[in-house]
Chains A and B, each alone.
Chain A
Amino acid sequence: MNRLPLERKVLSENDLIANRLRERFLDNRILCVNLISSPGSGKTTLLEKTLEHFPKSQRAAVLTGDIQTENDANRLKRFGFPVKQITTGGTCHLDARMIETHLEDWPLRDLDFLFIENVGNLVCPSSYDLGEAAKIVVLSVTEGEDKPLKYPSIFFRSELLILSKTDLLPYVPFDVDVAMENARRVHPAIDVVKVSCLNGSGMDEWFHWLETRRHSCSLRLPQQQ
């Protein structure tokens, strides 16, 4: 019997495509972010409010993933920016090949921001590098404060945590401090922005994070995962 050491990542094929995408994003100075959350945490609403805020001249586009329906793309197309739905047909996450295929006829030189809205799932999308500069995890206040401890993988790999639906805080038993402490136990350096898409609080901080991150993305070395 002959044992051969391999020492390679299981998802090396996905990573190869992801690195190709990352280079294209860097060459074109695009900030690509990959939004991940449980179903119903408010990713699409956050993107609606983001596109609504952007001037029409803003160079932004969205790829939105779901298992079925074009509903999210239809919601997001109303703002006049390029939007494509990726319908996975059952797969619980997006992979790098899906992103590459759906970008085929989009001239990347025309973009500054590319938002990828992953399939609503807090587990599987965390394993797949899509070539993004940053993963962003969205956690709503109607979920448990212990989610970061229950699903450490995605909180560990995300650069930013967006705490959403903060307008509901008076009505739900959600302790923000405990949730933040849990998130930082998993990922001490994670950035946090608290937003309400309903009353607009915290949205300026989110827009500021996007602008700052875009300016730094062409300077920063891509994160290897």
Chain B
Amino acid sequence: MHEMGIANSVLTAVLAETARYPGNRACKIGLRIGELAGIDPDSLRFCFEALIKDSELECLVLEIQPCSRRHRCSCGHEFAVKDYDFRCPNCSSAATNCVSGDELELAFVELEEYEPITT
């Protein structure tokens, strides 16, 4: 259950990024999560929503892009691995290398103009 820490790191990165654009706030954030990353997307979303509740980021939408495990074969073919079957569907070689699937990355942030309410 480290999703709270991960959610907090996402928000810290969003705040750092938006600070470079005065007069804007983040309205949507895209996150890539690989199937090998050891992150539960539902748990992460729960933590994320708990953290932004009643804050000025309350409207921030989290978009999670799941990434499957992909292998590349020496024949050049790249394919999604299902049920841990690493054999190349093109040439049946078992000598394939993992090229993606452990992502935990910020893909994008969307900004909108925003003026903080001052009292």
Q: Give the interface of A toward B (CB within 8 A).
A: 1-14, 91-93, 95, 123-124, 126-128, 149, 151-154, 156-157, 185-186, 188, 225
Contact A156 B102 (CB under 8 A): yes
Within 8 A of A (CB), among B1-50: 1-2, 5-6, 9-10, 12-13, 17, 24, 27, 30-31, 35-39
Residues of A within 8 A of B84 (CB): 149, 185-186
Q: Closest residue of chain A to B14, judged by CB?
A: A6
Residues of A within 8 A of B80 (CB): none
**Extra 15 A-B pairs, beta carbons < 8 Å, given A2-B111, A4-B111:** A3-B111, A4-B17, A5-B107, A7-B105, A8-B13, A10-B9, A10-B10, A10-B104, A13-B12, A91-B5, A92-B2, A95-B5, A126-B38, A127-B38, A127-B104
In the bound complex, CA of A60 to CA of B77 (Å): 45
Contact B104 A6 (CB under 8 A): no
Indicate whether B106 reaches chain A with its CB closer than 8 angstroms: yes
Query: A138 → chain B, closest Cβ, in Å?
Result: 17
In the complex, the 4 A-B pairs of residues with the closest C-beta atoms, listed nearest first: A153-B38, A124-B2, A185-B84, A6-B106
In the bound complex, CA of A156 to CA of B35 (Å): 11
B36-68 contact mask (Cβ, 8 Å, vs A): 1 or 0: 111100000000000000000000000000000
Q: Would you give 19 A-B contacts (Cβ < 8 Å), ordered by A?
A: A1-B27, A1-B111, A1-B112, A3-B108, A3-B110, A4-B110, A4-B111, A6-B106, A7-B107, A8-B105, A10-B105, A10-B106, A13-B9, A92-B1, A124-B38, A127-B38, A127-B104, A128-B2, A153-B37
Residues of A within 8 A of B98 (CB): 156
Chain B interface: which size bin? 20 to 34
In the bound complex, CA of A92 to CA of B5 (Å): 10
Q: Closest residue of chain B to A13, judged by CB?
A: B9
In the bound complex, CA of A23 to CA of B110 (Å): 35
Contact B111 A6 (CB under 8 A): no
B70-106 contact mask (Cβ, 8 Å, vs A): 1 or 0: 0000000000000010100000000000100010111
Residues of A within 8 A of B36 (CB): 152-153, 156-157
